[in-house]
């Protein structure tokens, strides 16, 4: 039997997310954060300017990390 893991995916389009949003997601069962590292965003195509911060917050609250 497989286990379901709740995940959160965000890109540069979501903008700046604060730590409280990641804590809330963790508290309701999200265990994996998937960050857009490179792609389209409001400023064009390129690096997600928020990825480092988003990944840091996700790690701080205990989520596993992934990127695309």
- pLDDT tens digit sequence for 23-66: 999 999 999 999 999 988 887 788 999 999 999 999 999 999 99
The mean pLDDT of the chain is: 94
Asked whether the beta carbons of 30 and 9 are under 8 A apart, the reply is no
Beta carbons within 10 angstroms of residue 62's beta carbon:
11
- Asked whether residue 1 is assigned to any structural domain, the reply reads no
Task: Determine the structural domain holding residue 16 and report its residue range.
Answer: 6-67
Residue 32: predicted pLDDT:
99
User: Per the structure, how many domains does the chain have?
Assistant: 1
Report residue 68 as tokens. Answer: 């695309």
44 lies in some domain: yes
pLDDT bucket at 7, cuts 50 / 70 / 90: very high
Answer yes or no: is 59 within a domain: yes
Q: Which two tokens stand for residue 9?
A: 């995916």
Assigned domain for 13 exists:
yes
Tell me whether residue 17 is in a domain: yes
Is 20 part of any domain? yes
pTM confidence score? 0.88
């Amino acid at each position: 039997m497989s286990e379901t893991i709740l995940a959160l995916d965000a890109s540069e389009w979501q903008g700046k997310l604060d730590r409280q949003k990641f804590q809330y997601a963790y508290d309701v069962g999200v265990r994996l954060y998937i960050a857009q590292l490179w792609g389209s965003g409001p400023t064009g195509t390129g690096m997600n300017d928020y990825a480092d911060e988003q990944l840091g917050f996700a790690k701080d609250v205990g989520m596993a990390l992934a990127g695309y």
